[in-house]
Every structure is written in C-alpha cells, then in structure tokens.
Amino acid sequence: MLLFYLKGLFRDRSRSLMPVIVVAIGVTLVVLMQCWITGVLGDMIVFNARFATGHVKVMSRAYNDNISQKPNDLAMIGTDELMESLKQEYPDMEWVERIQFGGLVDSPDVNGETKAQGPGGGMAVDLLSENSNEVERLNLESSLVRGNLPKTPFEVILSEQFAEKLEVVPGDNITLISSTMYGAMSITNFMVSGTIKFGAAMLDRGGMIADISGIRQALDMQDATGEILGYLPSGEYDDFEAAFIASTFNEKYSDTQDEFSPVMLSLREQNTMTMYLDMIDYFKSIIIGIFLVAMSIVLWNSGLLGGLRRYGEMGLRIAIGEEKNHIYRSLITESVFIGIAGSLVGTLFGLLLASLLTKGIDITSMAQNSTMMMQSVMKAKITTDAYYIGFIPGLIATVLGTALAGIGIYKRKTAQLFKELQA
C-alpha cells in the first residue's frame, strides 16, 4: 500500500509537486538561517580565542586583576619551568606564551628625524620556532598585504592602516618607545617586515605583531611572560572541559594569598565572555526558534489548505464506499511522503547555499569604528544540527496541517455528497 501511495505522488504531480516545492523552500530557509547564525556567532568566539583569550589562559593573579591595562610589570617570571609543567600535565593541549605590549611608535625620515608617530599596541608571539603554530593560528600568511613575515627577532608586522599613518613600507625602520618590565624606559629599533590586515577594526587602527624573543629583549622580560594561552586538542572551545582544566590547575598551583602566583581562567571567565557566551546561546535559540515557528506555521497552513482543496475528492471516495478512516490514513501517509521529500530537497539546497557562504561576506565598511574583537568577514558554518533541523517544520508541520484538515472528512454526510455530485 505504501508503494501505491508513493507511485501516486510521483504520477499525479498536480497533487504533490506544489506541496513539495513549498516544503523545500521553507526547509531551505531554515537550514540556511541555522548555518548562518551558528557561523557568525561562533566565529566571534574563535576570533577571541585565537587573538586574546585562548581556550584557557594562565596569568599572575595581580596581572589578572589589572588585565585591562596589560601590566607587564605584573607578569609571571620563571615561565620556562611553568611551561614544562603544563606540557607534562596536559600533553594533549597546545600551550603558547604571549606578551601584550604597547607604546609610542616613531618612524624616522632619511635624516633620522621624526617623520610620523603614533600610539601602537600589539602581541609578541612565537614566530620563529620550528614547531610553533602561531602563524597558522593567527592566519598571518594569508592576511599579509605587503612584505613578508618576520625572519629575525627585531622585525615587526604592522597593520596596513597603521603603516600608512606612519608613512612606512616594508624594509623601513621604526622605533618603539615603551617601558620595561621593571619600569625603566625602553627604546628599541625594529624593521618593518610587512603589513597585515587583521580583519578587526580595533586591531587595524594600531596593531603590531612581533616575535616574542625580540620583545623580551626590548622589555627586559627574559624567562617572563604576561600570558600563557592553552588550546584544547579538538581546536573547538568546550566550556565544560576548559572549566575542569582551569579548576584542577588552580587547586594545585594558585595561592590566593600570593598575588604573583599563577591563576588559570577559561575563555568564559575572561573579558566579559560569560555574558557574551550566554547571549550567543540565548539569541541563537531565540532567532532559530522564531524562524522555526514561523516556517512551521507557513507549512502547517500549506498542509491545511492542501487538505481542504481535496474535499471534493474525499467526498467522491466516501460516496463510492471507501471508509473514512482509510481515507484519513491515506492523507496522513501522503503528507509524510511529501514532508520527507520536501525536507530532503530543502536540506540539500540549504546546505549547498550555506557552503557557498562559508567563504563569508566582508562587512569591513560597516565595522570601521568597531571596538569589539570580531572578524570583518561573516561566515556560515555547517554543523550536525543543519542536517536534521529542517525536518522539524518540513515533516511535523506538514503532517499536522494535513491531520487537522482531514478531520473534516468525518463531518461529511453521504446524503449531502450525492447532492454535491448531482450538482
């Protein structure tokens, strides 16, 4: 019997084609919206983890209390030993040292006089070690606008916008005027190896990236670092796992009575990320939920109208002796096939469109004055949910609409049917 219903749907396109198209369009929009919202909100977390927070971060307690100032005078010392301990206790994770630095950046002219200057800030990361993944993590190679990555400790990458402000090109020298870890003045010359576009307006206005060994010499921070970032083996942030690792570390190494003892924080505990992560989950649920309800109502109405339009057919079948229960079951069965077919087609097209958006849409022009750590390219992301979420409105709503419309079958009277047929 099921095969009979299936053949009927394929052969009678006037009865099945339009409902399938309507379901497919609705499901396509649901899948595309789910991938887009997941990708855009998820990329903000990834961007923060790569550039600022890691999945977990180790700092001194005093540094953490004043973290908005990036106080290198409160940085951790003896970090070579701490790094070895972290690698032994959490061997599956990747640990990297970083120093946040800033100061006045001066660019000289041919006579050595100041040509232009401006405040700048940046990160010192491990760019030169053979086993370092920092270049890939920060996406530096593909983000280069001019020049090359640093090849010596005293080379630096400037943001393209900052380089234009200082009127320098790759190969020119700049001077970083800052303070050492111990409060003394530091004046260090660097060569601009290249320029980069970070993709975040806040960083592009005055950002720099240098190798950590050069900055350590400039700021007198040998065997010291401001932050140690840890990344989970999967590469994706797991709130539960990160919180567990931070808890076990703090129980062993952190002393609440010693302001210079190390403390580990998960991504959620940093930079108001608790509120941000909660907002992501909240708004993602609301947006996708509203869209699901809206599309369910549309598809429910489609199934309802489809059933109502066939009341003449149902009346004829009742008039020739077919049982009402059998007719009702056949309607439900047909709507199940229509829902499955439309959901499959819609999911396929939704995933296809989402895959095209994985390259992203550039919103640089809209984010020029942004102070948030966010990417200027918004991308869709295909997750496991995308493969089945479209079946919720596509199948359930369609079947429900048909079921409600089919209730009218039981209200049809045989005497009235013969009058309708005679007319």
Please give the pLDDT value at position 372.
38
Cα–Cα distance, 97 to 82 (Å, whole number): 11
pLDDT of residue 371: 38
Other Cβ atoms within 10 Å of 276 Cβ, number? 16
User: Residue 399: in which H helix or E strand, if any?
Assistant: helix 398-406
Q: Which of 24, 53, 6, 66 has the alpha carbon at shortest distance from 268?
A: 53
Tell whether the model's pLDDT for residue 186 goes beyond 80: yes
Which of 27-36, 223-232, 241-250, 284-293 is the least confident region?
284-293
List b or e across 81-90, with b for residues whose CB sees 16 or more CB atoms inside 10 angstroms: ebbeebeeeb
Helix axes 273-309, 13-48, angle to 10 degrees: 180
With residue 327 as reference, give the H or E element that holds it: helix 324-357
H/E segment holding residue 58: strand 56-60
User: What does DSSP say about strands 361-362 and 377-378: parallel, antiparallel, or unpaired?
Assistant: antiparallel
Q: Is the pLDDT of residue 414 over 60?
A: no
Between 388 and 56, residue with greater pLDDT: 56
Comparing 422 with 333, the larger pLDDT belongs to 333
Poorest-confidence range of 181-185, 224-228, 266-270, 413-417?
Answer: 413-417
Amino acid at 291: F
Rama region for 382: left / alpha / beta (φ>0; ψ in -120 to 50; rest): beta
Q: Please tell me the distance from the alpha carbon of residue 267 to that of residue 278, in angstroms, as a whole number.
A: 12
Measured in whole angstroms, how far is the alpha carbon of residue 160 from the centre of its chain?
A: 25
Over 60: is that where the pLDDT of 220 sits?
yes
pLDDT at 341 over 60: yes
pLDDT tens per residue across span 3-61? 655 565 555 555 667 778 878 888 888 888 888 877 877 777 888 888 888 899 999 99
| Distance between start and end Cα atoms, the chain | 33
Mean pLDDT of all residues in 299-322: 63
DSSP-derived secondary structure letter, 360? -
pLDDT at 367: 45
Cα–Cα distance for residue pair 408/371, rounded to 1 Å: 59
Q: What are phi and psi of 172, to 5 degrees?
A: -80, 160
CB atoms within 10 A of CB 40: 22
Query: What integer best gives the mean pLDDT of the chain?
Result: 80
Q: Is the pLDDT of residue 192 over 90?
A: yes
Given a contact cutoff of 8 angstroms between Cβ atoms, the answer to whether 263 and 257 are in contact is no
Task: Please write the tens of the pLDDT for every residue from 98-121.
Answer: 999 989 999 988 888 888 888 988
Per-residue pLDDT tens for 237-271?
Answer: 888 899 999 999 999 888 888 888 999 999 888 86
Hey, which of 322-336, 360-374, 404-418 has the most confident mean pLDDT? 322-336
- The 10 Å CB-count burial string (b at 16+, else e) for 51-73 is bbbbbbbbbbbbbbeebeebbbb
The model's pLDDT over 350-385, given as tens digits with 9 standing for 90+, comes to 899 888 887 766 655 544 444 334 455 677 888 888
Q: What is the mean pLDDT of residues 164-171?
A: 91
